[in-house]
Each structure stands twice: as structure tokens, then as C-alpha cells.
Structure 1
Amino acid sequence: MRSPSPRLPVLLGVVVVVALAVAAGWLLHFGATGTGTADADAALLTDAVAVRGPRLTTAAVTVTTIGSTAAMAILAVSMCVVSWLRGRRADALFVAAAALGGSALFRLLKSLFDRPRPPVATRLVNETNESLPSGHATMSVVIVGALVVLVWPACGAAARVVLVAAATLWVAAVGATRIYLGVHWFSDVLAGWFVGATWLAVCVVARRSWGSRPGEPAPQDADPITPDDPAVDR
């Protein structure tokens, strides 16, 4: 039986990128025009305002601050530094590309669509730039997703389930706080998640593709085991 082509994961990754990009494009269009989203956006914002309370607001502000683009930038820099010092320069470049590209992308899209935020009267925090897509949602997916990619090889099956669940819950929580605080419509957040996922997928595919080029070493998922390693049976 012939072994699968080493480029098969890259090709599958390209399919995922295209699917995510199409979904993100549709969500951006719907959010910008209000087609099919206006009622849901208004209803969810109304529901968020209705359930507000002091403790919940404190928790939401805390989560949204930790999940801010500034905090994600600090996390990305930390990941880059640690990867570089450990000799994993490909990982450092991967995180840098993901962070810088993701930040530039969501800012470009905000300027392009120029969607107004929800009414000032509903906001619990101050925001002055455009609404679509949510930068918090975009960068939480990109940076937390990049962290998952880096630690994935070191995790066992059970740990991977916990890792993905924790990352998903965190990204969802950050997005939910943006609606609760009245600074984003739901469609902004949803579009941000898909924009972030699309860019993260592009970076992962590029990383994998570079490693599968003839003459190029594949990205190292873990430190190689040498004959002197005590874990090797003799």
C-alpha cells in the first residue's frame, strides 16, 4: 500500500482555509449590510442589557481586559521570546506572523466596512473605532489558537481534549463579553471568530507547507529523542 503523500495535510489545510474564508466573507457581508442579522443582533443586545448586574459586569470587564488586543499582543511576544530562546525559531516566526497579520487584517476590515458600534447608551466601556469585525474576537482566536498549535505535540489525547475545550470556552467568553458590554453586535463577534480562524489556518498551512518543501526540515513538534536519551530502551 502506498503511503499518503506528505503534501496531503497541506492540501486538506487549503480546503479548510477556503471554507473558512468563504464563511468569513459571508458573515462580513451580512454584518455590514444587516441582511439576516439585524433582528438577531438587536435581540441579543437587548437580552445582554437585561441580564446585567454588578458582579457579572465586573467579571465581563475582567475577561474582556485579559482578552484585549493589547493583552494578546503581550502573550504573542512572550510566546515568540520563549520559542526563540528554546531554539524553535520556526515557532517564533509562526506566532509573529499570526499576530502581526491578524492585527493588520482586522484593522483593515474595520476601516473597509466602517460599521458603527451599538448605541452609546448601551455601552459599559468606551470604544471609539469601527465595529466590524470584533478585534477581541479575531485576536483571541489567532493567539490562543497559535498557543494550542505550539503545545499540541506535547499533549496526550486527554490533555488535547482539555486544551481544545479550554481554548474554545475562553474564545467564546471573550466574544460574549463584547456583546454584554454593549460595544459589539453579535454579527461583529461571529465574523471576528471566522476571520481569526481563517488567518490562523493560513498560518498553520504555511508553516506545514514550508516544512514539506524538498530539502526543508519539517517543523519539529517535539525535541528529538537521541540514542543517549534514558527513555530509549537498550
Structure 2
Amino acid sequence: MRRRPRTVPTFGARQLGWTAGVAIIVFAILAAGAAGFWPLAPLDRLIDSLVDGARGGPLYDLMLVVTALGDGLFLTLAAVVTVASFLFTGARWRAMCYALCFGSMPVVVHTIKLWIARPRPTDIPYTGVDLFSFPSSHVAHSALIYGAIAGLTFVTFRGWMRWGLTGSFLLLIVMIGASRMYLGAHWFSDVLAGYALAFLFLVMLAIAVAKHPEPPKFSRGIPIALFVIAAAFPIYLMLSLPDSDALYRAIELHQRPGTPAESPPSP
């Protein structure tokens, strides 16, 4: 009798549906507030006042490095390497699902930014859609890609490596959100909305992957992908850090407004 290949266990559809619903509700509430239908300013001012006390000193350099891990160019590299690892092992369905999920997030984020049109906390020298703050594209993209990689490390490794690597990626996701507020690029509600949007995408990705369960061999390329990503970051940091430092130093020179700007409600 032919044995069926062992598959990686997945969450049930009902649990995924509930978590997707929660993410949608959280994002909708925040989007309505950012659009001016209810005040987000008191919450954002409170969080900003707490963060402001920690600004300056040695934390600046750490946050600059952390936020670089969420830069679009580096995340693109991480996404491409991850998808390529699936193609390397013949997991074409998984590769397609991850590629579509990673590729559609920028379109969704940019569309929402243009629709809400919420100014950033400071007069950051950005242009185009990057002028707008809601939701945080840094957080949405990094939480999606690193969240997906965290899930992959969890099913790929065993023992202390499983928990260490997975926990490290989850901690990185949290720190990137903190860095965006610390550096004055986003309000707390922008960051929280980015997390909610990324979580929704991760749930949809899990549902899509669960439609066609694959043998565990799809994860054989993950260690190589992690090595490439880790090796590439010091090079990327060396090339991008001077410009990033100049950008966020410029932000420090601008006076932070007292109230988070919100878009007027649609007629």
C-alpha cells in the first residue's frame, strides 16, 4: 500500500476565519479614524509623548539599523529569495501564493495611502504616495514578509533553533514598528494599521497554502534562503545607512506638530 506523504499541519479554516475577521475590524476602525470619522489624535499623542522620552542617545543608531531591515529594497530581496527557495524544491503552488501575496501588498498599501491621504507626523522630504502616513508601508510589508518567514522557520527547524529563529523574526517585526514611531515617520495608529493589514494577508496566505498541502520538502531551501538574507543585510546596510541617517536627521530638525493630522470625512 502506497504511503501518503506527510504534510505540515495547518490551522483550521474556522480559526483562520475568526482571526481574519478580527484583523479586518481593527483595520476598519483605524482607517475610519485616520479618515476623520472619529478622533485618533488623543491616542497618537499619548503614545508619541511616551516615545519622545526615549528619543536620542544610543537608541538612535539601533533604530536606524532596525528600520533598514524594513526598507522596501531589502524586503524585496527577502521576498524574492523566499519564493525562489520554493521553486528550488518544486513547490510551485506555494511559490505562486507567496509571490502573489508579497506582490499585492504594495498595491493595497499605496491605494489606501492615496485614499486616506493622512500627512506624516513631520515634514519628511518624501514625494508621491510616500508623503502619506496611513498605513505604515514599512510595517505592513515587513510584518507580512518576516511573518511569513517566521512561520517557515517554525515548520523547518526543531528544538531551540525553531523557537530562537521564529522568536527573533517576531521580535524584529515589533521592533520595526517601534522604530517607525521612534524616528518620527509614523503615528502609533499608522503602525497598528500596518500590523492589522499584514496579519490579514498572512491569514489569506495560510488559507491559500492549505488548499494544496505539500510534503515537507518545500522547506529544504529555507536554511539557504535565511543564509542569503542574513549575508546580504550588512552589505545593504553599508550602502544605505548614510542616506537613511541624513533623512532621519532631517526629520529631527523639523518641529513635530502637536496633533496628528487626519483627513476630513468624505461627504
Range class of TM-score, shorter chain: 0.7 to 0.9
Identity across matched positions, percent: 25
**Alignment of structure 1 residues 195-210 onto 2, 5 Å:** 195-208=197-210, 210=211
Q: 150, 153, 163: which one pairs with 1:151?
A: 153
Tell me the CA shift for residue 115 of structure 1: 0.6
Say whether the 8 Å CA contact 1:153–1:222 is kept in structure 2: no
Q: 202, 215, 218: which one pairs with 1:220?
A: 215
4+ aligned runs moved over 6 Å, structure 1: none
What are the superposed Cα offsets for residues 85-138 of structure 1, whole Å, 9 maximum, x if unpaired? 222222322221121121211111111111111132xx6xx4442100000110
**Amino acid across the alignment from 1:156:** R
1:82 aligns with 2:85: yes
Residue 231 of structure 2 corresponds to which residue in structure 1? none
Corresponding residue SS for 1:33:
coil
Say whether the 8 Å CA contact 2:154–2:166 is kept in structure 1: no
Q: 1:179 to 1:88 in 2, by over 3 A?
A: same
Q: 1:50 to 1:202 in 2, by over 3 A?
A: same
Residue 131 of structure 1 corresponds to which residue in structure 2? 133
Tell me the CA shift for residue 41 of structure 1: 1.0
Residue range with higher mean Cα deviation, 86-95 or 139-148: 86-95
1:190 aligns with 2:192: yes
Q: Whose RCO is larger (CA < 8 A, sep 6+)?
A: 2
Q: 1:167 to 1:8 in 2, by over 3 A?
A: closer
What are the superposed Cα offsets for residues 129-166 of structure 1, whole Å, 9 maximum, x if unpaired? 21000001101111011112333322336544434422
**Amino acid across the alignment from 2:26:** A
- Taking the aligned partners of 2:81 and 2:104, their CA distance within structure 1 comes to 17
**Alignment of structure 1 residues 54-203 onto 2, 5 Å:** 54-120=57-123, 126-128=125-127, 129=130, 130-156=132-158, 158-203=160-205
What are the superposed Cα offsets for residues 169-202 of structure 1, whole Å, 9 maximum, x if unpaired? 1111001111111110000000110011101111
Say whether the 8 Å CA contact 1:154–1:222 is kept in structure 2: no
Say whether the 8 Å CA contact 2:23–2:196 is kept in structure 1: yes
Q: 11, 17, 20: which one pairs with 1:17?
A: 20
Corresponding residue SS for 1:133:
coil
Cα RMSD, aligned residues only: 2.5
In the alignment, structure 2 segments of 5+ residues that lack a partner are 1-8, 220-267
Q: 1:94 to 1:152 in 2, by over 3 A?
A: farther
**Amino acid across the alignment from 2:72:** T
Say whether the 8 Å CA contact 1:114–1:132 is kept in structure 2: yes
What are the superposed Cα offsets for residues 37-95 of structure 1, whole Å, 9 maximum, x if unpaired? 31121232233333222422122111111212221111001111122122222232222
**Amino acid across the alignment from 2:145:** I
- Taking the aligned partners of 1:148 and 1:184, their CA distance within structure 2 comes to 25
Tell me the CA shift for residue 205 of structure 1: 0.7
